[in-house]
Structure 1
Amino acid sequence: MTTVCLTFDFDAVSLWISTMRQTSATPLSRGEYGALVGLPRVLDLLKTKQVSATFFVPAHTAGAFPSQAVAIQEAGHEIALHGYCHETPVGLSRDEEERLLDRSIEKLRAVLGNEFSPQGYRSPAWDLTPDSISLLEERGILYDSSMMADDYRPYRARKGYDATEDHYQPGTPSNVIEIPVAWELDDFPHFAFLNKPMYLGLRTPGEVFGLWKDEFDFCHSLGDGVFTLTMHPQVIGRGPRIEMLSRLIDHMRATPGVVFRTVAEEARKRSLSLIGSEAGLANFSNP
C-alpha cells in the first residue's frame, strides 16, 4: 500500500517578510495572491477530488488571513505548525525557540479556537536545531516533516545531535515520527522566480508532472512508501499548475493500492510500528 500525503505550506506574506526580507508592495502581493487566489483554487481542487490534505500554517498567516485559515479548518483538512512568521529556528537559544513555538500555538488557537491541538510541525526553513525535536516531543507533537534521512520511509526523528568537523553523533531516537520531505517534491524550486537573490525556477507544468509522476511510480514500486508533496498556494495556485496537480492526483488515484491521507493520519499509523522498536530508524553509523 502506498500513501500519498498532499501538503501545502500556506505562507502568504510571512515568507516575504521573514525569509526573503522583502516588504515592498510587489513581493507582498505575491503572498496575497496565495491567500486570495491560490488557496481557493487548492481548496476547490481538493473538494472536487475528495482528498484531505495537510496545511502547514505560520501563526502570522492565521492572524493576517483568519477567514482563509478557518476555511481550511472547516473543509476538514489538517492544520499543522509552520513557525511564527516563517523564520528559521537555527541560531536561536533553546529558550527562544521554545517561546516562539508556544507563541505560534497560542496565536493559531486565537484564530482556530482553543480546541485546536496541532499534531505536526514543519520548519519554515526545513532546518532544525539540536533542541527542535525535544521541544516537539515535550509538547506531545506527533510528527515532524522537515528532514531528509530517507525518501519514502518514515522514521523516528532523532534529538540532540552533535556535528563538528571531527565527528558526527546523530542523537537518540525520539517519539516524534519523521515524515521525510525532498526538494525534488517541492513546487517552489521548480516554479518560483526570485530576482533578489536571482533564482530561476519557471519550469513548465509538463516537466514537473513528469518528474513527480516518476517519483511517485518509484515510491509505489517499494510497496509501503509514503509519497509526500510540498506545495505552496502562491506557487501551485496558478492555473496551469493546479491543472497539472489535478492530472497527477488522477494518475495516483488510478494506481491500484494507493490511499490518500493527512500527514497526521499516516504518522499515527506509522507510530504503532516505529515507537518502542528500532524498526524504521534511518541507518546511521556513529564514527
Structure 2
Amino acid sequence: MTTVCLTFDFDAVSLWLSSFRTTSVTPVSRGEYGATVGLPRLLKLLDGKAVKATFFVPSHTAISYPAETRAIRDAGHEIALHGYVHETPLGLDRDEEARLLDASIARLRKVLGNDFTPQGYRSPAWDLSVNTIDLLLERGLMYDSSMMGDDFRPYFARKGDQLDDESFRPGETSALIEMPVAWELDDFPYFTFLNKPLYSGLRDPAEVGRIWQSEFDYCHEEVEGGVFTLTTHPQIIGRGPRIRMLGALIDHMKSAGDVRFLTMAEAAGEARSTLTAISSGH
C-alpha cells in the first residue's frame, strides 16, 4: 500500500515579508493571489477528487486570512505549524524560538478555536536549529516535515549530530517522526520567478507533471509501504494549467491501485506505530 500526502504551504504574504524582505505592492499581491485565488481553486480540486491534505500555515497567514484558514479546516484538511511569520529557526536562540512557537500556536487558536492542537511542523527554511526537535516534542508535536534523510520512508529524527573536518557523528534518535521532503517534489524551484535575485523557474506544467509522476511511480513500484509527499504552494500551484496538472497527477495516482491519500498526521501516526514496533523488536 502506497500512502500519498499532499501538502500545501499556505504562506500568503508572509513569504514576501519575512523570507524575501519586501513589502512593495507587486510582491505582496502575489501572496494575496495565493489566498484569494489559488487556495479556493485547491480546495475545489481536493473536494472534487475526494482527498484530504495537510496545510502548513504561518500564524501571520491565519491572522491575515482567517476565513480562508477556517475554510481549510472546515473542508476536513489538517492544519500544521509553519512559523510565526515564515521565519527561519536558524540563528534563533532557544528562548526566542520557543517564544515564536508558542505565539504561533496561540495565534492559530485565535482563528481556529482553543481546541486546535497541532500535530506537526514544517520549517519555512526546510532546516532546523539545534533546539527545534526538543521544542517540538515539549509541545506535544508528533512529526516534523523539513528534512531529507530518506525519500519515501518516514523515520525518527535525530538530534545532536556533530559534523566537522574529522568526521560525521550521528546524534541521538528522538521520538519525533520525520516526514521527509524533497526539492524535486516541491513546486517552488520549478515554477517561481524572482527578479531580485534573478531566479527563473517558469517550467511547462506538463514536464513537471511527468517528473512528479515518475517519482510517484518509483515509490509505488519499488518502496513497500512508501509515503509519497508532495509540497506545493497556493500562490504557485494555483495557476490554472498547474491546477489541472495536479488534478491529472491525482488521477494517475488513484489509477495505480493500492493507493490511499492521508493527512500527514494520519501517516505520521501510522509510521510512529510501525517504527516503534521495529525498534522494540516486535
Q: TM-score range by the shorter chain?
A: over 0.9
TM-score by length of 2: 0.97
What's the counterpart of residue 106 of structure 2?
Answer: 106
Distance 1:144 1:183 in 2: 16
1:61-105, Cα deviation, whole Å (9 max, x unpaired)? 000000000000111100000000001000011111111111100
What's the counterpart of residue 92 of structure 2?
Answer: 92
CA shift for structure 1 position 160: 2.3
Letter in 1 for 2:265: A
What's the counterpart of residue 197 of structure 1?
Answer: 197
SS of the residue corresponding to residue 259 of structure 1 reads strand
SS of the residue corresponding to residue 223 of structure 1 reads coil
Distance 2:278 2:172 in 1: 13
CA shift for structure 1 position 139: 1.2
SS of the residue corresponding to residue 44 of structure 1 reads helix
**Aligned CA distance change for structure 1 residues 166 and 94 (closer, same or farther; 3 Å):** farther
Letter in 2 for 1:65: Y
266-275 or 47-56, which deviates more: 266-275
1:113-137, Cα deviation, whole Å (9 max, x unpaired)? 0000000000001010111111111
Matched, 1:13 2:13: yes
What's the counterpart of residue 151 of structure 2?
Answer: 151
1:4-49, Cα deviation, whole Å (9 max, x unpaired)? 0000000000000000111100000000000000000000000000
What's the counterpart of residue 224 of structure 2?
Answer: 223
Q: How does 1:161-172 map to 2 (within 5 A)?
A: 161-172=161-172
Q: How does 1:173-184 map to 2 (within 5 A)?
A: 173-184=173-184
Say if 1:59 and 1:82, in contact at 8 Å, map to a contact too.
yes
TM-score by length of 1: 0.95
What's the counterpart of residue 263 of structure 1?
Answer: 264
Distance 1:101 1:158 in 2: 20
Gaps of 5+ in 1: 280-287
What's the counterpart of residue 284 of structure 1?
Answer: none
Letter in 1 for 2:259: V
SS of the residue corresponding to residue 184 of structure 1 reads helix
Letter in 2 for 1:241: R
What's the counterpart of residue 71 of structure 1?
Answer: 71
The sequence identity of aligned pairs, in percent, is: 65
**Aligned CA distance change for structure 1 residues 248 and 54 (closer, same or farther; 3 Å):** same
Say if 1:159 and 1:171, in contact at 8 Å, map to a contact too.
yes
What's the counterpart of residue 237 of structure 2?
Answer: 236
What's the Cα RMSD here?
A: 1.1
Distance 2:161 2:268 in 1: 22
Letter in 1 for 2:261: F
Letter in 2 for 1:96: E
Distance 1:67 1:169 in 2: 47
Say if 1:175 and 1:275, in contact at 8 Å, map to a contact too.
no
Distance 1:207 1:114 in 2: 43
CA shift for structure 1 position 277: 4.5
Distance 1:170 1:89 in 2: 21
Matched, 1:51 2:51: yes
166-175 or 28-37, which deviates more: 166-175
SS of the residue corresponding to residue 210 of structure 1 reads helix
CA shift for structure 1 position 224: 1.3
Distance 1:18 1:71 in 2: 24
CA shift for structure 1 position 256: 1.2
1:134-155, Cα deviation, whole Å (9 max, x unpaired)? 1111111010000000000100
Say if 1:130 and 1:162, in contact at 8 Å, map to a contact too.
no
What's the counterpart of residue 142 of structure 1?
Answer: 142
What's the counterpart of residue 2 of structure 1?
Answer: 2
CA shift for structure 1 position 174: 1.0
Distance 1:173 1:161 in 2: 10
